[in-house]
Amino acid sequence: MNAQVLIIGLGLIGGSLAKALQRHEGVHVAGYDADPHTARKAFKMGIIHSSPPSLERAAAEADVIVFATPVGTTVKLMEQSKFWDLKKDAILTDTGSTKHQIMEAAKGLDRTFIGGHPMVGSHKSGVEAAKEVLFENAFYILTPMENTSEESIAFLKELLSVTKAKVEVLKADEHDYMTAIVSHFPHLIAASLVHQLAKEEQYPFARQLAAGGFRDITRIASSNPEMWRDITTQNNGMIVQQLSNWMDEMEQLRDLLVRNEPEPIQEYFQRAKSVRDELPIAGHGAMYSVYDLYIDIPDVPGSISELTGYLAEEQISIVNLRILETREDVFGILVISFQTPEDRERAKECISKRTAYDTYIS
């Protein structure tokens, strides 16, 4: 296909999208960032084809404009775009993780606007972390206006097809409700669990015991506080609704524990296990995640370097590596995290082929 694309905001998401779209031979990707140094760096790294000095001039030449900026900034840029001299059939879109505020702002535009949310992330940020494979197997949600033409939606889908993401079309409120359930609200739960641990003064050794499973299930509490402040305020109504549902669930669970009858308690955990085990393993969900491989290795010098050496020989990149000191009800003593499920599977095969260590995927 042939198209002029302008990406505004060259961080992890904008930069990665720019790189991925270059897979289209006929697509020219221009990039603009409020920080000129970032734009120059993106050009030198080959992340964008050009770095125009004027945002308005670049917008006038674009067939597709992508706001890869925080939601608050995107809303301001959308307001500014009313004064840009754009092509009649230009498509505007964004990459924000909440959609209601964006789509409300879009109602004031005399433009074709299709909301977008690539459900991806990384342990790194900034244009230096950009990579064209970031979106592969991830959900990329589009939230068009009610009057958006099917031709415009199809064009944007075709443009995004080279990212190898799973593009789905939803209404903005549907998107915000579902992401509140599986992404936004769980972040609040993780943060609240950490706060509860932080208040524990009677037994300070509890923090040492948290090095195992507790640290794993609260990992998302380490996400960027400013970003989650914005998400929480922007999707506040949906999140508060989920909090009310959670409190009802906790009240039912409290009653179950007060009765202290073994069979109903076991059934409660059994139902949770069944639902959790049926969740899809492959691909990305609504939350950024790494893919963990648990490995039983002997506590002898050289075991970890042996494993990482094998992975390096087969050019398998790792995101993180940690030793579990507290392992109650957790497989393995070593946990290696990977960026993709494919890397994890390759690592599992590599380790099984070259060692006698047991490996698990939890």
Q: Could you give the residue range(s) of every CATH 3.30.70.260 domain in the chain?
A: 291-360
List where CATH 1.10.3660.10 sits in the chain. Answer: 176-277
CATH topology of domain 176-277: 6-phosphogluconate dehydrogenase C-terminal fold (1.10.3660)
pLDDT in tens, the chain (362 residues): 899 999 999 999 999 999 999 999 999 999 999 999 999 999 999 999 999 989 999 999 999 999 999 999 999 999 999 999 999 999 999 999 999 999 999 999 999 999 999 988 765 678 888 888 889 888 999 999 999 999 999 999 999 999 999 999 999 999 999 999 988 999 999 999 999 999 988 888 888 878 767 877 887 888 888 888 999 999 999 999 999 999 999 999 999 999 999 999 999 999 999 998 888 765 555 555 668 888 887 767 788 888 999 999 999 988 888 776 544 444 457 888 887 788 899 999 999 999 988 888 86
Give the separation between CA 22 and CA 146, rounded to whole angstroms.
30
- Per the structure block, which two tokens stand in for 295? 């490995």
CB 332 within 8 A of CB 352: no
Task: Report residue 136 as tokens.
Answer: 């592969």
- Predicted local confidence at residue 79, as pLDDT: 96
Q: What is the pLDDT of residue 16?
A: 95
**The pLDDT value given to residue 327:** 44
Q: What is the predicted pLDDT for the residue at 329?
A: 46
pTM: 0.77
In terms of Cα–Cα distance, which of 74, 96, 88 is closest to 143? 96
DSSP string spanning 202-218? S-TTHHHHTTTHHHHHT
* Helix axes 225-234 and 185-198, enclosed angle (nearest 10): 130
Extract the tokens encoding 245.
């549902």
The CATH-assigned architecture of domain 2-170 is 3-Layer(aba) Sandwich (3.40)
Using the CB atoms, write b or e for 99-137: b if 16+ within 10 Å.
bbbbbebbeeeebbbbbbbbbbbbeeeebeebbbebbbe
Residues of the chain with CATH 3.40.50.720: 2-170
In a 10 Å sphere around its CB, with 0-12 CB exposed, 13-18 middle and 19+ buried, how is residue 36 labelled? exposed
What does the pLDDT read at residue 133? 83
Superfamily holding 291-360: ACT domain (3.30.70.260)
- Looking at residue 285, its pLDDT comes to 56
- Give the pLDDT confidence score for residue 331 in this predicted structure: 45
Confidence at residue 320, expressed as pLDDT on a 0 to 100 scale: 81
